[in-house]
Amino acid sequence: DLRIGTAVAGGGHHLEQEYPDPFTYDKPYRKVLAREFNSVSPENQMKWEFIHPERRKYNFGPADAIVKFARQHGQVVRGHTLLWHSQNPAWLEEGDFTKAELRAILKDHISTVVGRYRGKIQQWDVANEIFNENGEYRQENIFIRELGPGIVADAFRWAHRADPKAQLFLNDYGVDWPGVKVDAYEALAKQLLADRVPLDGFASQAHLSMRYGAPDQLQAVLQRFDDLGLYTAITELDVRMDLPEGGAPTAEQLQTQAAYYKTVLDACLAVEDCNSFTIWGFTDKYSWVPVFFPAEGAATVMGDNFERKPAYYTLRDTL
């Protein structure tokens, strides 16, 4: 039942372009997207600033196009994301709303967006990056700051009401090794389940850097959530590296990268209900990494011309 997915590029600040998205004009990109994956995640197109640019205006075009593409190619969709501190529109972040208004705005947004794609989304990242590294709730998140952490449970309830069949996930980075952040998620997951909140899964984004070593305890982390009866997933895997002078990775770096990718896939395969293995883009051509992590890059499984790297072959041979 394991789905193999990728983010669908588009709308990112790093691409310096908005709609149309690469997959609508880059034919080779579109071909690989259709051929290699049976799950897709909009990289930006369902985030608040894109899909809800003004208080009373939604922009569904780019997200609709991805959902349609997925349908045509027998792919499922991971919706991303509903409650996050980043990529929110100014009208929301800078608006002068009462608590009751803010709550109504979030409820409305979730009901509208999740409702629009009812029956067409396999999994939703309902809550994204809600904890800091120290395991405390992120106060940059306007909903958590203004409404308190109980809003997380409400977000799950509203999403469930809008699409009862979608699997609803907690999603974060920095949860590939045990530690206080993972502890915080485990405690939250237990609490939500005890309170009968419709939580279905816990996901590691798995944005990895070769600076920090291979995620050799990821399986154990995922297992803790599997033990709670949850699905687990890898949702945004990429493996960045320090690029040598000239920009091209060495053969040795590419082998190391392939081993990291394999470690993550093996972890997912070893855990019974790990049901999605998604990489955050499949070609370096559109990867967010070089823009967000200076001096690092080459983080995906294909080069700029869709040439396959060792990581591609390793994943293929492992599946």
Shortest distance, CB of residue 64 to ligand XIL, whole angstroms?
Answer: 19
Q: Is 236 helix (H, G, I), strand (E, B) or coil?
A: strand
Smaller CB distance to ligand XIL: residue 61 or 164?
61
Based on CB atoms, which residue is closest to ligand XIL, 86 or 250? 86
In sequence order, which residues have a C-beta less than 8 Å from that of residue 194 and are 6 or more positions away? none
CA gap 14, 286 in Å, rounded = 8
Task: Decide if 236 is catalytic.
Answer: yes
Q: Interaction with ligand XIL in 277-316: which residues (CB under 6 A)?
A: 288
Q: Which is nearer to ligand XIL, 122 or 128 (CB)?
A: 128
Return the HEC string of 89-136.
Answer: CHHHHCCCCCHHHHHHHHHHHHHHHHHHCCCCCCEEEEEECCECCCCC
Contact 174, 181 (CB under 8 A): yes
Among 6, 123, 167, 205, binds ligand XIL (CB under 6 A): 205
Nearest distance from residue 47's CB to ligand XIL, in Å? 7
Asked whether position 232 contacts ligand XIL by CB under 6 A, the answer is: no
Q: How far is the CB of 291 from ligand XIL (least distance, A)?
A: 8
Q: Which residue number, 14 or 73, has a Cβ lying nearer to ligand XIL?
A: 14
Report the residue number whose CB is nearest to ligand XIL.
Answer: 12
For residues 117-139, one letter each, b for 16 or more C-beta atoms within 10 angstroms of the residue's C-beta and e for the rest, the string is beebbbbbbbbbbbbeeeeebbe
Q: How far is the CB of 46 from ligand XIL (least distance, A)?
A: 10
Of the residues 136, 236, 272, 307, which is catalytic?
Answer: 236
E strands, the chain, are 3-8, 39-42, 76-83, 123-128, 167-172, 201-204, 207-209, 231-242, 274-279, 296-297
- From 4, 14, 154, 270, residue interacting with ligand XIL (rule: CB under 6 A): 14
* Contact letters for ligand XIL, residues 118-157 (x by CB under 6 A): ----------x-----------------------------
Answer yes or no whether residue 13 interacts with ligand XIL by CB under 6 A.
yes
Q: Is 253 in the site for ligand XIL (CB under 6 A)?
A: no
Per DSSP, the three-state class of 218 is helix
> Of residues 129, 136, 146, 252, which has the active-site annotation?
129
Nearest approach, Cβ of 234 to ligand XIL (angstroms)? 13
Neighbours of 174 (CB within 10 A): 16
Name beta bridge partners: 51. Answer: none
Shortest spacing between CB 102 and ligand XIL, in angstroms: 22
Please tell me the distance from the alpha carbon of residue 34 to that of residue 169, in angstroms, as a whole number: 25
Q: How many CB atoms lie within 10 A of CB 111?
A: 15
Grouping H, G, I as helix, E, B as strand and the rest as coil, residue 278 is: strand
Does 6 interact with ligand XIL (rule: CB under 6 A)?
no
Judged by beta carbon, residue 11 or residue 249, the one nearer ligand XIL is 11
Does residue 43 bind ligand XIL (CB under 6 A)? yes
Positions in the binding site for ligand XIL (CB under 6 A):
12-14, 43-44, 128, 205, 236, 288
Catalytic residue annotation: 129, 236
